[in-house]
A and B are shown apart, each in its own frame.
Chain A
Amino acid sequence: MGYTLNFAAVWRDIDLLFMGLGLSLVLAAASIAIGCLIGLATAFVLISKQRAGRSLAAGYVTAIRNTPILVLILFTYFALPQLGLRLGKIESFVFTLSIYAGAYLAEVFRGALLSVPKGLREAGLAIGLSEWQIKSSIIIPVMLRNVLPSLSSTFISLFKDTSLAAAIAVPELTFYARKINNESFRVIETWLIASLFYVVTCTILAMLLRVVEKRMAIPR
C-alpha cells in the first residue's frame, strides 16, 4: 500500500467542483419547486371526488415510486426523443426529478391535507371566500406549515439525487468529480473531496431548513 495522498490535482480544479455544486443546487431547487406544484396538484386530485382523476393520479404515483430514478432519467433522456419530445440535458433532468419529487410529495401532501380541520374550510365559506381563495389562503398555508418538518429529509434526498444527472453528462458536481478523476487519476482524493462537498452542503441545507421551519411554525 504505497499510496500517498496528494490533493494538488484536485485543488487545481476545485473551481470546477464549485461550479458543479452550483448547478447541483440549481437542479435541486428547480426540481423541488416544480415537484411541489405537481405534488400539490396531484394531492388535491387524490382527495377529490372525481373517480377517473383519482385513479389517474394514483397510477402516476405508483408508477413513479416503483421505478428507480436512474431508469427514469435514462428513459426521459434517451427514450422520449424517439417519441418526438426532445429536451436538453438539463431540462430533461429537471423534468425527471420534478416528476419524481411530485410523486413522493403528492403522498405526503395528501395525508397533510386530510389532517387540516374541516372547520377551517367552513369558516372560510361562511365569510364568503371562494373554494380557490380558501385553498390558497388557508388550506395550503396551514398544510405546508404542518408538513415542513417532515419534508426536510425529502428535500435533502432530492439534492443528493442530482448526482445521478452525471449519468446523462449534466455538468454538476459528480460529473466534474469524475472528470477530475479521469484526468488526474487521483481516485481517492477526488471522491473524498466530492463526498465532503455533499456532506457539507447537506448539513448547511438541513440547518437552513430548520431555520425556515422555526420561522414558519404556527405560534402556540
Chain B
Amino acid sequence: MPHLLEIRDLHKSFGQTEVLKGVDCAMEQGDVVCVIGSSGSGKTTMLRCINMLEDFEGGTIAIDGQQIGYETQRSQRKRRREREIARQRALTGMVFQQFNLFPHMTALANITLGLIKVKKMRREEANATAERWLDRVGLLERKGRFPGQLSGGQQQRVAIARAIAMNPKLMLFDEVTSALDPELVNEVLQVIKDLARDGMTMLLVTHEMRFAYEVSKRVIFMNEGRIGEEGDPKQMFLKPKTERLAEFLKSSSFH
C-alpha cells in the first residue's frame, strides 16, 4: 500500500534563496498532522507544493502513489500538462489564510462552482451536496449570503466547506486562523476538530500551538527549510529534543 501522502527530498527555491532543502514526510489516511515553525521556515511553501500552487525543482510528492506535478520520461523530469495538474489538484482541498472566497458568488455558489465545473455534477446534486456541507459548518441558513456579508469566521467556514465538498483525499490548511479576529478563531478551529474526529486526513500549517497540541496525531517542526523535529505532540511540546524547538516553543504562545 502506498502512503496517502509521501514527500521525498523536496527542494524548492525562490530565485537564489533555497526555501526547502530536502523535506521528507509521509502521511496515512486519517492522519492529522500539524506543521509548526517560525515564519520563513518553509511550512507554507511545502503545503503549496503539494497542490502545485508552487512548482518545485527537486524531489517528489506522491498522493496514493500518484506522482504530483511532474513525470519522469526517459529519466527526464517533466512538468505535467496543465489539465493533468488541474485534475491532480482536485485530490487535495486547500483552505487559505485569506479565505479567498469568490466575492461575486453566494456562499452556496462558491461551493457548487467546483462541483459543477470540475466534478461535472448536475446542479441539483451540487446544490444538495453544498447544502449538506454548509449545514456541517453551521451556515446553512446563510447559503444565500455573499462573502462580503459574512464575518471572517463565517467566510472561513464556507471556504472549508468549499474545499471539502470536492471530496478530496487530503485537506491542506494554510494558517487558516491567522487573518481572523481573536474572538472568531474558535468557531473555525471547532469545525476543523469536528472534521478530524470524522477521520478526514489533514495537513495543517498553524500558529495555534494549543490547537496543534490538542488536535494532531503528529507534529512537524520546520526549521530553515528542513524538518527540525517531528513526533507525538505531547512529547514534542513538553519535552522537545532539539534546542531550536525548545526556543521556538518558548517564543510562541504555547504554555
Contacts and interface: CB of A to CB of B under 8 A. Distances in A.
Contacts of B53: 122, 125-126
Interface stretch (B14-22, B29-37, B71-79, B101-109): B101-109
A80 interface: no
B163 A127 contact: yes
Interface stretch (A84-92, A105-113, A137-145, A150-158): A137-145
Nearest to A119: B100
Given A123-B102, A128-B114, A137-B117, A219 B148 contact: yes
B89 A220 contact: no
Given A219-B148, A220-B146, A130 B86 contact: yes
B148 A128 contact: no
A168 to B, nearest CB: 41
Interface in B58-117: 82-83, 86-87, 89-90, 92-94, 96, 98, 100-104, 113-114, 117
B149 A220 contact: yes
Nearest to A127: B114
B90 A127 contact: yes
A119 B96 contact: yes
B102 A120 contact: yes
Contacts of B118: 127-129
B177 interface: no
A55 interface: no
A81 interface: no
Contact of A127 (B52, B148, B149, B162): B162
B89 A127 contact: yes
B166 interface: yes
B83 A127 contact: no
A6 to B, nearest CB: 55
Contact of A141 (B52, B83, B104): B104
Given A122-B53, A128-B87, A219-B149, A142 B104 contact: yes
A220 B100 CA distance: 15
A218 B100 contact: no
Contacts of B114: 127-129
B51 interface: yes
A137 B51 CA distance: 21
B113 A122 contact: no
Contacts of A131: 82
A133 interface: yes
A138 B162 CA distance: 15
B149 A125 contact: no
A127 B82 contact: no
A127 B101 contact: no
A53 interface: no
B90 A218 contact: no
Contacts of B87: 128
Nearest to B117: A133
A117 B148 contact: no
Nearest to A132: B82
A117 B100 contact: yes
Given A133-B117, A219-B146, A128 B100 contact: no
Contacts of A141: 104
Contacts of A138: 102, 104
A132 to B, nearest CB: 10
A133 to B, nearest CB: 5
Given A127-B166, A219-B149, A220-B146, 7 more contacts: A117-B100, A125-B86, A125-B89, A127-B114, A128-B166, A137-B113, A142-B102
Interface of B: 51-53, 82-83, 86-87, 89-90, 92-94, 96, 98, 100-104, 113-114, 117-118, 146, 148-149, 159, 162-163, 166
22 contacts: A119-B98, A120-B100, A120-B103, A122-B100, A123-B96, A123-B100, A123-B101, A123-B159, A124-B102, A125-B52, A125-B53, A126-B92, A127-B89, A127-B162, A128-B89, A129-B113, A130-B82, A133-B117, A138-B102, A219-B148, A220-B146, A220-B148
